[in-house]
Structure 1
């Protein structure tokens, strides 16, 4: 009897082993039958992240009822691996054995430097009802590299140009929009004058005071006042007088000669003469005479001690911003941007103005916080009725919209901006990314005509040629771009817009 039991046990064990071996082979075959698709068909940086969808097609009868299919994607770059929290999975008992199934899932990962050369890969696995993996597929390459074309949008970054661009809005007291930004002729002074004014009923003053003490620049406030009763009288008796006083304080005969002013300014910067030696007007003159950012910073630091105003704090912030843009050391750069942030907030603290609001957007742009940048530029745009300033704000809004992946919104903003080489390039870039190659070509060509020494519009034309498969035009325009700008030469080597051409001799010849 014992012998019979042993024979039966041996037969059962042998059958189980054979069955298991067969199952392993079948599971491996099942897992390998997965079809993985990327949507869109290439990874692209949008703002500060990379967003995409994966679609997995599984054949019918792939899973038994007690099995679960799981796909685990991850992104490898350099020596790093980014693992997604989400996985794609489906249970066999939910499927129809007579039809295949498609799974779709959206994924997002933060973009960090170095990812542009990385790879999106995945492994598929089939688990049993105890969630134990029966078999995994080999690592499957889904996509290579990340397209970062939207990051070419420009708001004055230094990218191999002959000179560093000047960033931010510098306030000039002679402009109507900067009315009320000075310490000695501020909106607070106008509010005091208006409070003492007896030409209109007391109850009619409140709306005017609310506008005077509220946000906005000179053009914005005056435009709002035009809708109020008694505006014509107030404008004649109060506003025009205030404007004349402002103009007189900025004009007239110089009390200090340019030579004397230069000597006094140098002494204030060195700390040998008190900061209140110069008038506010003389500080403004001295600032316009100083070519260097360091000298401007020293003067403005002294100026805010004795004449703290929306003007002095805003312009001090502009100095910090431009010094940060010229600083390679990351710690020093961030400290300068912190200083700029503080200065612009102090300027807005006096009264919220479009200069400081716009310049806050520049700080956020340099910190790569593009959504905060957009909010700041949008707020700046709402604080003015000046056509010139609105065009500047719209240009910035367009550039940020490109980076954030909203290309059609970018086109709308940039159509309202000045048609200079930078804005035309950004317009072309937005149209390329939204698929409008016709208008993009026109805008890149016009940008190139306005500044033939700029390599960026030729790079844009090369992008269009690559997307259209026009190899000859690609090489022609890429050569023009990289001979004008070394930054573009280095970028082209690893730009996945040109991935189909990287190994071709024509491309290699252009890059050499």
Structure 2
């Protein structure tokens, strides 16, 4: 009897399952499946989306499970994604409320996945029994706009350290000494070593800019006498100097020399200097003079007080004469090689026809900036790397290799390796911001946007400035687009070098950041910089599409394919233009 009852129960259960599962599959036709975004989009080499699944009320039966299985089909391949299970026991109110689940999905993007379909199937199950629904498409293809990013490279040169501007070097002639109360330059002073030094200097006709002559006086004497002595002594040296220039036939050169006369009247500064150096009296006795000077009163009154000191005669004899002077300081133009001479010598250095010591390291580094030829720059910087361990020589040689890679894409891989070798040497010597800027470009040349971003960030945080900072901001902006950091990319590109590629990447980042109107502006600015940049027209067409501007889509695509016909095929399969692809104007634009 028990066997009969058990058999009946089993049969009843199977019959119930056999009826329940088909009903669930039938009811699943009313399920609501929403995919966001739709079409799918790739960002950071990943396709990520959310699926919201809402089941009809009363669909889940006791003891059943309904599973939503998702698949991405592309070509002859299929990628199975994680399921969304609905267990009846988890939804006790399913008779009156819709069971709802929102789940996030992601999968690694491959170029072949651009054209494909996201499909779902529902599977109703109870125990070992199951029933599947037909597959349904819920999203079509992948938008790949983020892949339009243009890799940007920049060669960051470090400073050469050479001052190619006019430099003035001071030449100081020992003080000419005058007799007390007089301003006549004595013959003994002219024939002294300092007089002969000044004569020899003038005779050599050095390129001179200024001659500054400071006339001074000793403290004794009335104010009217002292006020006249200082300027007269300075004027006496100027008179002698001009006389010598005439003797040595300066002609027009004399007119270019500026004489600056600086009379110093009733000033204790030089007296204090000489007093400090004087060893003829004690420090306590020196303090007596300083107390008088610091005590206030007129210059003449102070000098009268000094006369009452017991050491005054020694000071008058030994210190005062040193204050009756004319000091001469001449600013002459430092002798330098001309740019032409430096260029010629640098080329000879690279050819080993003259010694590398013919030019200083700084002159050699400067020479590289005087030629537009990258090959010549490379030869000069290579010679500079042999003049000691200088990080900037290795950095700049690496920078030249980057510049050559930019000009010769077909040989970029080999040039990137050469640049890497030099920059590895440079960074060991000095982790300078320019080195990290170049390592950013090398990393991007090698396809590693993440390493490029790290180096670019290091370069900027280390204080990179000027054109180099603008250049590396362009590199950083490109890597931030790859990393899907679109707002940061807009910021970087806004501070980047003002060229077409950076403006294009700025527009692309703005599109991806959903700032479509400003993106259009950036793309148009890129086009104004380079009217042959077809991808900028293509980007403008994408921005127009997202704004719903059909005329903009057509006009920009027309220009894009006119310049680069290969973009026709890209546009035809680009889901950005799905809403416009059936229109006659769109088809005409891509004929």
Query: TM tier, shorter chain?
Result: 0.5 to 0.7
**Aligned-residue offset at 1:9:** 9.7
- Give the alignment partner of residue 318 of structure 1, picking from 399, 407, 411: 399
Deviations 1:109-128 (A, max 9, x none): 22233222233333332333
Q: Are 1:359 and 2:444 counterparts?
A: no
TM-score by length of 1: 0.68
Counterpart CA distance in 1 for 2:61 and 2:140 is 33
> How far 1:479 moved relative to its partner?
0.8
> Deviation digits for residues 312-354 of structure 1, max 9, x if unmatched?
332343355456667888xx86665455444323222211122
SS in 2 for 1:114: helix
Residue of 12, 31, 35 corresponding to 1:34: 31
Partner of 2:71 in structure 1? 74
Shift of 1:378: 1.5
Instruction: Pick closer, same or farther for the CA change 1:508–1:255 going to 2, 3 Å.
Output: closer
User: Is 1:416 aligned to residue 495 of structure 2?
Assistant: yes
1:169 aligns with 2:167: no
Does the C-alpha gap of structure 1 residues 126 and 276 become closer, same or farther in structure 2, counting only changes over 3 Å?
Answer: farther
| Residues 1:72 and 1:338: Cα distance change in structure 2 (over 3 Å) | farther
The 8 Å contact of residues 66 and 85 in structure 2, kept in 1 or not, is answered as yes
Q: How does 1:364-383 map to 2 (within 5 A)?
A: 364-383=443-462
Matched with 2:112 is 114
**Counterparts in 2 of 1:415 and 1:92: CA distance versus 1, 3 Å:** same
SS at match of 2:532: coil
In 1, the alpha carbon distance for the partners of 2:162 and 2:49 equals: 48
Root mean square deviation, CA, Å? 4.0
1:167-208, Cα deviation, whole Å (9 max, x unpaired): 4324452689xxxxxxxxxxxxxxxxxxxxxxxxxxxxxxxx
Which residue in the other structure is 1:252 paired with?
A: 337
- The alignment's TM-score, normalised by the length of structure 2, stands at 0.60
| Residue 13 to residue 101, structure 1, CA distance change in 2 (3 Å) | closer
2:131 corresponding residue in structure 1: 135
CA distance in 2, matches of 1:78, 1:274: 66
5+ residue gaps, structure 1? 157-165, 177-247
* 2:147 alignment counterpart: 151
Q: CA 1:138–1:170 in structure 2 vs 1: closer, same or farther (change >3 Å)?
A: farther
> Is 1:345–2:342 an aligned residue pair?
no
> Using a 3 Å threshold, how does the CA distance of structure 1 residues 89 and 12 change in structure 2: closer, same or farther?
closer
Worse-superposed segment, 319-328 or 359-368: 319-328
CA distance in 2, matches of 1:286, 1:63: 78
1:70-129 deviation digits (Å, cap 9, x = unpaired): 333333333444444x43223210102221122112222222332222333333323334
Which has the higher Rg, Structure 1 or Structure 2? 2
Match of 2:537 in 1: 458
Q: Aligned partners of 1:155, 1:252: CA distance in 2, in Å?
A: 41
Matches of 1:429 and 1:405 in 2, distance apart? 11
Contact 1:31 1:125 in 2 (8 A): no
Q: What is the number of residues matched between the two proteins?
A: 417
Aligned to 2:510: 431
State whether residues 52 and 103 of structure 2, in contact with CA within 8 Å, keep that contact through their aligned partners in structure 1. Answer: yes
Q: What CA distance in whole angstroms lies between the structure 2 residues aligned with 1:70 and 1:420?
A: 53
What whole-Å deviation, never above 9, does each CA across 1:253-292 have from its counterpart, x for those lacking one?
4797867765764x67xxx999999975547646864746
Q: Distance in 2 between matches of 1:441 and 1:400?
A: 21
| 1:458-505 superposed Cα distances (whole Å, 9 cap, x missing partner) | 223212221233222211111112222345444323322112233444
Q: How does 1:327-338 map to 2 (within 5 A)?
A: 337-338=416-417
TM-aligned CA deviation for residue 393 of structure 1:
3.2
Could you tell me whether the CA contact under 8 Å between 1:47 and 1:370 is conserved in 2?
A: no
Aligned to 2:312: none
SS in 1 for 2:110: coil
- SS at 1:38 equivalent: strand
Alignment pair present for 1:406 and 2:463? no
Measure, in 1, the Cα distance between the counterparts of 2:111 and 2:407.
Answer: 20
CA distance in 2, matches of 1:175, 1:458: 44
CA distance in 2, matches of 1:394, 1:283: 26
Unaligned segments of structure 2, at least 5 residues: 164-333
Structure 1 residues 290 and 279: CA distance shift in structure 2, 3 A: farther
Q: Would you say 1:491 and 2:478 are equivalent positions?
A: no
| SS of equivalent residue, structure 1 residue 154 | coil
In structure 2, do the counterparts of structure 1 residues 393 and 496 end up closer, same or farther at CA, with 3 Å as the change threshold? Answer: same
CA distance in 2, matches of 1:424, 1:288: 30
Q: What is the deviation of 1:381?
A: 0.8
Cross-structure match for 1:181 = none
